[in-house]
Structure 1
C-alpha cells in the first residue's frame, strides 16, 4: 500500500471529478475562488482556441458533450472581465427552451412555440445585459429608462405580427393567460375571441396579433448607451445550442443571431457552442461565423500529416490536461507518473489506453479516471491498465449506453430521417454493427484454424498475438464512404462510434471515413480493439472485411416494413408501387390499409408509451443524472447545482416533486443530503431495450 499516494488521495479524486462537471463548470477552491484560469488547458499551443473566442470575429465552437465548450466560454469571460471596454453575456439556451416547453405543453402549437422561443431568448439577453450593466454601473438612469420602456411595450416589432390559431388545454383559472397584454416577462398576445367547451377544460383561441419585442431597436439603443460609457464590444456567449430542436434553432438563428451578425458587427460578438451534425446556421455566411472543432480528429487533422500525428496530439492533450489538474489540486505533491503502476506498463501505454477509452474528451476522461480511482488509489494502489479497462466498461454501461437508449430527451443528428432513424432504430443499427464486426473476428479465426485463411495480414496478426487457445484480432474499426457517413452521426453524438481518420476510396473520386466502436463497448462485447502494432493504420483498417459501406445502408433500409394493417401481408417495394395505383390490398382487398412504418414501432409500442410517461423537465433529468453518476454518495443541493449550472435554491425547488415521486430521498443533518432511489434508477437508467424480446 502506497502511503504517499493515500495522503493525497482526496486531492487526486477532486482533480478527476473536476473534469466531470457539466454546464457552467466554474471550479473553485476551498475559499470559493475560481480555478478555471489556472486549470485551463487549450487543445493547441499558445491558447489558440481561447484566442479565437476572444477575437473580434463571431465564432462557432463545435464539439460533442464534454469536449469543453462551456469551459472555454467561462475562461474567455474571465479574460474579458479584466477589460473596461468589453463585457460578456452568457446564456444557456437549453434553459430558455425548457421554459418554452413548460409554458406550452401542447407540442402541436408550433407557431406559438416558435414565438415563445424568440421571446425567451431575447428576454434572457436583455436580463443578462441589464444584470451586467447594473454591476458595472451601479446607478444608470439612461439604462433604467430603456428597460422601463421595454416593460411598457415601446419596442414592439410590428413585422412580427402574425395571425395564428392556438388551442390550449387549461384549467378554468388559467384561461385568462391566453389573452391580454404581456410585457418583458411574457409575449404580448391580443386575443380576438375565446370559445370554451361545456366542460370548461379546453380553450380554443384565435390569436390575431402576436407582438414581439424588436431586437433591432433594443440592441441599437443598448449599443448607444454602452458606447457612451466606454464599452466598445459586447460578447454574447450562447451555450447548449444543440439542445434546441430544429424548429427552435431556426427561430434563434433566423430571427436573432443572423440579424446580430449582419447588423451589429462592430459591437456585438456572437460566440456559439453546438454539437457537430446537430446545428442549423441558416443563411449565415460561413466566413462570418468561422467554426472550430473540439473533437480530436476534426481538431487535429488539419495540423497533421498522418493519422499517427493526430493521435500524438490527442494523447499530448490528455497528458497536459491531467498534469495541470494534478499540479493544482495536489499542490505539486504528486506528478502524473506517480498515479500509474509503471512496473506493469510504461506511461505511454497508459496514456494511449486513456485516449482509446475517452477519445480525448475531458468529461469522459474524468468519469473513467474517477471509476478507476475507486478500485486503485482509494485503496492505496496505483492505477493499472486493468483498472482503466474495468472503468471503461462501467462508464459505457452506466453513462453512454444509459443515455443512448433510455434518455427521453434523445437528440438526433439533423441528418437523420425523423420517422426512420428514431431511438429504437439507432439501437438496432448499433447492434447490427457490433454483430457484424464480432463475426468478422470469429470467421477469421475459424478460417485460420482450418488453414483456409488467405489474407497474410490476418494470418500474421493471429500468429503473433495468440496466447494458448486465445487469439487477439482487432475488429473494432471500419470504414464507410463519406457520402453515406451521415447515417452514423447520431451514433457518433452518443459516443457509440468515434471518427478516427479519412482516406481515399478504391472507387475513383470518392473518399472514405474510418470509425471505431466505443472502447468500453468493445471490451464488453469481446471485440478486440485497435490494430496490430506492426501494421500501419491505413493497411489494417482499409481491409475489405471492414468495409461497411453497403452493410449500414442495408440495415437502415431493413428498418422499414410495408404491411397491410388488416391482414398483415408484407409488401416489397415493387408490389407497393403497384398497390399505390389501386389502393386495395392484394390479399384481403381492403382499401387504404397498407402502410410504410418503422418495424420497431409495433414491437416497442408499449416501451415507447412508458418512455413518454417518464418525461420530466430537462433540469430534473440532469439532477437525477448527477445523483446516478454519484450513486454511492450523498450530495447537497449546492454540490448538485455546481455540476449542472443551477443555483442551489433552484435545485432545492426541483427536489420537491422528485422526492414526492420517490425518485430522490434525503437525510437531514446540518443540511439536506440527497440520493437517487432504486425507483428512479430502474425507471430512467436501467438498460430497458436490452430486456425487450
Structure 2
C-alpha cells in the first residue's frame, strides 16, 4: 500500500465515524451524502418509508443513523416545491434554554424558586422551538426566492418575510405573553390555596407538603412546588397534575391554534402544502421536558394542523412520549438490529444485517479508495464475507461503531503497511468498549443526577459484573466437560448470550441503551415459554476472554436457550437484593416481592391494604458510601463530564472541532464550555498560542476524574 491508499482508507473510515453529521463533503465542498448514503434495508426502504406523508418516529440507539436519515429526508423534500423541511436540534435548543432563560420577577410571588426555574426553563424552551421554526422557515424562503427573479414574487417574498418576523416577535415578546400568563398563574395559585385545608388534614398520612399559601404584604401568597407527590385518591393534586396545569399555561400563552393558522396563512401564497419538522436528539432532554414538549407543541401542531404540519422525530428506545398523538396514525421505524430485522424473516436476521454491513463498507472504501475491501483485509485465513460477519458482531450493525473499529484497525495495521486480520478487529472492539462504553459508569458518578438516579445506574454495574462472572463460569464448565451433550464443544466454549423472560427487559433498558448488552432475538425455551435472548458487548466478551456467538451448524440452533444460559434467577435475585418495594404508610409498611410488581403497575403503585403509595428504594450502602466521598463542587453537568472524559481518553491536546465531532455538539458550544471549565473550575487548560485553541486537562482534573 502506498501513502495515497492509506490516506484514502483513513478518509473512508473517518467518514463512517461522522455517519450522522452533515460534513460529508469532497475537496470542493460538495455534499457527498446522497452518493454515500447506505440504507439499512435494500432498495432504500427505510428512506422511502420515512418520506411518507405521516408523522414518523425514527427509533434507535445513538449512532444508528437517525440524523443521517434526517439529512437525506431534507435533501429529498427540497426537491419538491410543495414541501418545506425544517430541522431543529431539540437538545441544543433545550440546553440553550437552561442557560439563557429570562428571570421573570413578576412570577416570584406565585411560584417557589425551584418550581419557578423549572417553569421558566421549559417556557424558554418552547418559546425557542417556535422561534427556531420561524427562523428555519425564513431561511428556506431566502433560498426559495433566490432563484425567482420576477418583481411580483420578490414583492411576495418581502411580505412573507415581514409576516414571519411579526409572528416571531409575537412569540418572543415577554410583555405580550405576560398579559395572558399572569391571570392563568393566578388562577392556579388560587386553586392551590383552596386545596390547602384538605392538604393539611391529610398531611399526617401523605407526609410533608410543600405548599405555602396565605396573605402577605404583597397580597396573595401562593407557592406551588414540583418537589412532592400527593395522593390522587385523597383529592390532592400530585406533581404530574401541577405540571399538567403548567402545560395548560404554555398552551394558552403561546396560543398554538392561532400560531398554526397564522403560519398556514403566511405559507399559503407560496403554495406550500406541508411543513415537515425534523426533531433531532428528541430523547436527550429531561423526561418532564419531553412530556411538556409533546403535550404543548408536538401533539397540538400535529393533530390540529389538518395534515399541514408533519413531524419526523429521532428518539431513543424507551424514551418516547406520545401524549395525545394516536400511535396508530404514525409510523414507527426501528433502527436497532433486533427491532428492525425481526419485522421480517427471523431466521434471516443476521443475513440482512451482514448485508447492510457489507454494502456500507464496500461503498465507502470503493468511493474513497477506488479499491476493493479485500485489498485492506488479510484474506489468507478468513474470507472477506467472514470479516463482514465479524464486523457486524462487533458493532451490532451500528455505523458509528463500525467507523471506530475500522479506525482503530487503521492505527494498528494499515499505517504500518499491514492488512487487517480477525484479531485486529477483536482488539479494536475491546478498545472501543473500554474507551467509549465502559466510562459511562464513571461519568454517572460525577454527574449532577440525583443520588437515587445514580444508585439505580451504578447498581447495574454490579449486575453487569454478575453477567460476566456467570458466563465465565459457564465457559469453565464447558471446557472441563461438566456440561455434557452435543450442544457444548470443549474447544469452543461459546459464552456470550443469555435468556430471560421478556417482563424483565425494562430493568435492563439502561444497559442496552448504552451498548453494554443488546437484544439478539426471541425464542421459546426448553419449557415452551417465550424468552428474550440478549448478548453482551463483543468488546466486553474479548476483555473477559469469552467466545462470542455460538457453534456453527443447525444442531446448535437452540444453543442460546440451553439451561445454563437461563439468567432469570440471576436477574430476579439481583432485583430482590438491590431494591425494597414497600408501602410508605409507617403503620402498614407492607413489602412486595418482584413477582407482585405487575399487580402494582396495574394499580398505579397503590397498597392493596391501606391504599397508600408504594415506592421502590435502592438498597446499596456500598454505592452510597462511594458517592458520599465526592464533594458537590466536583459534580458537573453531563456535557462537561463528557468533555473531560474525552480529553482523558485521548490523553493529548484536542481542538474544539475534534471534541465536537466525538460528542455531537457544535465547536462553538465546546469552546464556551471549555472556557467556563477553565475560568470557573480550573479543569481545562486552554492553549491560546495556537489557532484554533487546543484544550487539555489540568493536573487537578486528571487527579479528580481519573
Shorter-chain TM band: 0.7 to 0.9
1:547 and 2:547 are equivalent in the alignment: no
Corresponding position of 1:188: none
1:136 equivalent in structure 2: 144
The 5 Å alignment of 1:254-333 reads 254-306=295-347, 309-330=348-369, 332=370
> Which residue is 2:130 aligned to?
122
Match of 2:396 among 318, 336, 359: 359
Looking at structure 2, the residues matched to 134 and 339 of structure 1 have their Cα atoms a distance apart, in angstroms, of 46
The reply to whether residue 386 of structure 1 matches residue 423 of structure 2 is yes
Offset at residue 329 of structure 1 (A): 2.0
- What's the offset of the Cα at 1:143? 2.6
Equivalent residue, structure 1, for 2:56: 59
Distance in 1 (CA, whole Å) between partners of 2:140 and 2:507 is 43
Say which SS state the counterpart of residue 610 (structure 1) adopts: coil
Q: Which of 274-283 and 381-390 deviates more?
A: 274-283
Task: Pick closer, same or farther for the CA change 1:247–1:155 going to 2, 3 Å.
Answer: same
1:480 alignment counterpart: 500
Q: Given the alignment of the two structures, is residue 75 of structure 1 paired with residue 72 of structure 2, yes or no?
A: yes
Change (3 A) 1:639 1:405: closer
- Does the residue aligned with 2:312 lie in a helix, a strand or coil? strand
Instruction: Write the mapping of 1:398-437 to structure 2, written as runs, cut at 5 A.
Output: 398-407=435-444, 422-437=456-471
The one-character-per-residue Cα deviations of 1:584-605 (angstroms, maximum 9, x if unpaired) are xxxxxxxxxxx98523255433
Q: What TM-score does the superposition give when structure 1 sets the normalisation length?
A: 0.78
Question: Which has the larger displacement, 367-376 or 210-219?
Answer: 210-219
Q: 1:651 to 1:561 in 2, by over 3 A?
A: closer
The answer on whether the counterparts of 1:117 and 1:251 sit within 8 Å (CA) in structure 2 is: no
The 3 A distance-change label for structure 1 pair 643 and 539 is closer
**Kindly tell me: are residues 283 and 149 of structure 1, through their superposed partners in 2, closer, same or farther at Cα, counting changes over 3 Å?**
closer
Please give the residue correspondences for 1:661-680 in structure 2 after superposition, counting only pairs within 5 Å: 661-666=682-687, 668-676=689-697, 680=701
Q: Cα offset for 1:325?
A: 1.2
Distance across 2 between alignment mates of 1:23 and 1:47: 17
8 A Cα contact 2:84 2:137, kept in partner: no
1:514 is the counterpart of 2:555: no
**Which aligned pairs between 1:486-525 and structure 2 lie closer than 5 A?**
486-507=506-527, 510-525=529-544
For the residue of structure 2 that corresponds to 1:142, the secondary structure is: helix
SS in 2 for 1:60: strand
Give the drift of 1:644: 5.0
Asked if structure 2 preserves the Cα contact closer than 8 Å seen for 1:322 and 1:336, the reply is: yes
Distance in 2, matches of 1:537 and 1:481, equals 21
Q: Which residue of 2 aligns with 1:581?
A: none
Residue among 184, 198, 201 paired with 1:161: 184
After superposing the two structures, state which structure 1 stretch, 83-92 or 20-29, moved more.
20-29
1:273-317 C-alpha deviation (Å, 9 max, x unpaired)? 1111122222321122210110112111222141xx111111111
Query: Conserved in 1, the CA contact under 8 Å of 2:134 and 2:164?
Result: no
Structure 2 CA distance for partners of 1:636 and 1:410, relative to 1, 3 Å: closer
Counterparts of 2:639 and 2:141, CA distance in 1? 28
CA 1:157/1:339 → structure 2, altered by over 3 Å: closer, same or farther?
farther
Q: CA deviation at 1:364?
A: 0.9
Q: CA offset at residue 410 of structure 1?
A: 7.6
Report the alpha carbon displacement of residue 162 of structure 1 after superposing the two structures with TM. Answer: 2.8
Query: Are residues 406 and 194 of structure 1, via their aligned partners in 2, closer, same or farther at CA, if it must alter by over 3 Å?
Result: farther
Describe the SS at the equivalent of 1:237: strand
Q: CA deviation at 1:351?
A: 1.3
Partner of 1:228: 269
Equivalenced residue count is 595
Instruction: Find the counterpart in structure 2 of residue 169 from structure 1.
Output: none
SS of the residue aligned with 1:19? helix
Give the conservation status (yes or no) of the 8 Å contact 2:494–2:549. Answer: yes
User: 1:455 — aligned with what?
Assistant: 485
CA deviation after TM superposition for structure 1 residue 84, in Å? 2.4
Specify every segment of 5 or more residues in structure 1 that has no aligned partner in the other structure, as ranges.
Answer: 166-190, 196-206, 466-471, 564-570, 575-594, 687-693
- Matched residue, 1:50: 47
The residue that corresponds to 1:583 in the other structure is none
Alpha-carbon distance change, 80 to 419 in structure 1, aligned in 2, over 3 angstroms: closer
User: Distance in 2 between the 1:11 and 1:621 partners?
Assistant: 34
RMSD of aligned residue pairs (Cα, Å) = 3.5
For residues 600 and 151 of structure 1, do their structure 2 counterparts lie closer, same or farther at Cα, with a shift above 3 Å needed? Answer: closer
> Is the CA contact (8 Å cut-off) linking 1:501 and 1:513 kept in structure 2?
yes
C-alpha distance in 2 between matches for 1:639 and 1:31:
21
Larger deviation, residues 67-76 vs 100-109: 100-109
- Residues 283 and 194 (structure 1 numbering): CA distance in 2 closer, same or farther, change over 3 Å? closer
**SS of corresponding position for 1:250:** helix
| 2:670 aligns with one of 637, 643, 651 | 651
Contact 1:24 1:643 in 2 (8 A): no
Equivalent position to 1:40, from 30, 37, 48: 37
1:98–1:618 CA contact under 8 A, matched in 2: no
- Partner-residue secondary structure (3-state), 1:302: coil
- Measured after TM superposition, the shift of residue 675 of structure 1 is 4.2
Contact 1:157 1:214 (C-alpha < 8 Å) held by counterparts: no
Unmatched 5+ stretches in structure 2: 104-112, 146-156, 190-216, 222-245, 583-589, 594-614
Closer/same/farther in 2, CA of residues 455 and 644 from structure 1, 3 Å limit: closer
Structure 1 or 2: more helix by fraction: 2
Q: 1:642 to 1:394 in 2, by over 3 A?
A: closer
Tell me, what secondary structure is at the counterpart of 1:500? strand
Deviation at 1:612, TM superposition (A): 5.3
The verdict on how the C-alpha distance between 1:295 and 1:418 changes in structure 2, with shifts beyond 3 A counting, is farther
Cα distance change of structure 1 residues 420 and 455 upon mapping to structure 2, 3 Å threshold: farther
CA-CA distance at 1:665 after TM superposition = 4.0
Counterparts of 1:585-664 in structure 2, within 5 Å, are 597-601=617-621, 603-607=623-627, 610=630, 613-624=633-644, 627=647, 630-632=650-652, 634-641=653-660, 646-660=665-679, 661-664=682-685
Distance 2:18 2:416 in 1: 24
Cα pair distance change 1:135/1:572, threshold 3 Å: closer
Residue pairs, 1:212-251, within 5 angstroms: 212-251=253-292
- Separation in 2, partners of 1:54, 1:80: 8
Taking structure 2 as the reference length, the TM-score comes to 0.76
Q: CA deviation at 1:669?
A: 3.7
**What's the offset of the Cα at 1:440?**
1.7
Deviations 1:636-675 (Å, cap 9, x if unpaired)? 3345445555554443333322344233443634533344
Q: Distance in 1 between matches of 2:448 and 2:400?
A: 19
**Structure 1 CA distance for aligned equivalents of residues 649 and 485 of structure 2:** 45
Question: Which stretch of structure 1 is more off in the superposition, 312-321 or 612-621?
Answer: 612-621
- Cα separation, 1, equivalents of 2:6 and 2:219: 67
Q: How far apart are residue 141 of structure 1 and its match?
A: 2.7
How far apart are 1:219 and its partner, in Å?
Answer: 2.3
